[in-house]
Amino acid sequence: MINIDSHVHLGKDDRLGYELTLEELEHVIQVHNIDYAVVFPCPWDSSNPTYVRRNKEIIEAAMQFSNLIPAFMINPLSSDSIKAIRNLVENSEGVKAFKFYPPAQNYAPQMIIGSEIWNLAISYKLPLIFHTSKIYEETAGILDVAEKYPYPVIAAHAFRLHKDLLTKASTIPNLYVDISPMNTLISLVDSLAVSKQIMPLELQNASLTPEFVTRYLFNLMDSRLIWGSDLPWSANLSNAEGEWNFLPKLDFGIVEKMMRNAESIFLA
């Protein structure tokens, strides 16, 4: 089994000050026996909102360390960003996904459908990764994207465990749920990040643990889950060690399937 951390932000986030250096990431990878990490920039970059410089740094990091899988952060509202992304994709080997963080530029996910960045992603058969929030109207557009996109679409943070979003997502065969950072999400229940009131009844009425929620999602999504740590967020919002520590408590088949899903998406 190849162990893949499917959600890592490399660099510094200007809004919150969270940071993960390349050296820190490599240390974490060694300590936790991670074979590969999918890496992309932090979303809040006040000095360079097109992400041009940060995406170049991701490519440089992946060239230095072969266990890093590069993904580009996209600002679909910036023509400069899109132009730079096209140039990087066409002239750099190895980019494996596009990452979208709609709150950073205040756009709806479905606005990318049929756009230049959409067509570029299709031409390179790239999976799309979306940040999600617990607000239905901000996140439901990902469902529209997945229904129209011919390759994998990944909803990060498990749709914040929103019952309506998860129910619809379960019917879309190319839509995968990234459970990162599961331990942190559980620790933040009834905060701005997660609300128990919007969860499926099976979760509302349960004593929540990361392994219980993961098993529930695994069955609901017909095994279409991937795992990630969401560093450096998890290290600042709770205990990042918890993102690894609950995995051995799961059935091995669930962990193996999550890793195989990530392998088929990012390493195929």
Reduce the secondary structure of the chain to three states and give it as a string: CCCEEEEEEEEECCCCCCEECHHHHHHHHHHCCCCEEEEEECCCCCCCCCCHHHHHHHHHHHHHCCCEEEEEEECCCCHHHHHHHHHHHHHCCCCCEEEECHHHHCCCHHHHCCCHHHHHHHHCCCCEEECCCCCHHHHCHHHHHHHHCCCCEEEHHHHHHCHHHHHHHCCCCCEEEECCCHHHHHHCECCCCECHHHCCHHHHCCCCCHHHHHHHHHHHCCCCEECCCCECHHHHHCCCCHHHHCHHHCCHHHHHHHHHHHHHHHCC
Average pLDDT, integer, range 252-264? 98
Q: Is the pLDDT of residue 94 over 90?
A: no
* Banded pLDDT at 192 (limits 50, 70, 90): low
pLDDT at res. 92: 76
Q: What are the structural domains, with CATH classification, of the chain? A: 4-266 (3.20.20.140)
The answer, yes or no, to whether residue 93 has pLDDT greater than 80, is no
How far, rounded to the nearest angstrom, does the alpha carbon of residue 162 sit from its chain's CA centroid? Answer: 16
- Dihedral (C-alpha) 26, 31, 34, 37: value to the nearest 10 degrees? -30
Percent of the chain having pLDDT more than 70? 99
**b/e for 88-109, b at 16 or more Cβ within 10 A?**
bbeebeebbbbbbbbebeebeb
Taking all residues of the chain, what is their mean pLDDT, rounded to a whole number? Answer: 93
pLDDT at position 47 over 70? no
User: Confidence class of residue 46 from pLDDT cuts 50, 70 and 90?
Assistant: low
* pLDDT at residue 180 is higher than 70: yes
Our CA dihedral for 89, 102, 122, 145, rounded to 10 degrees, sits at 170
Task: Name the pLDDT band for 119 (thresholds 50, 70, 90).
Answer: very high
**Closest among 134, 132, 231 to 183, alpha carbons compared:** 231
Distance between CA atoms of 207 and 64, rounded to whole angstroms? 44
Task: Match 């379960």 to its residue by tokens.
Answer: 170
Between CA 171 and CA 218 the distance in angstroms is: 13
**pTM for the whole thing?**
0.96
The two tokens of residue 242 are 């918890």
- pLDDT mean over 60-89: 93
Residue 193: its pLDDT value, please?
77
Segment 197-241, tens digit of pLDDT: 999 999 999 999 999 999 999 999 999 999 999 999 998 888 888
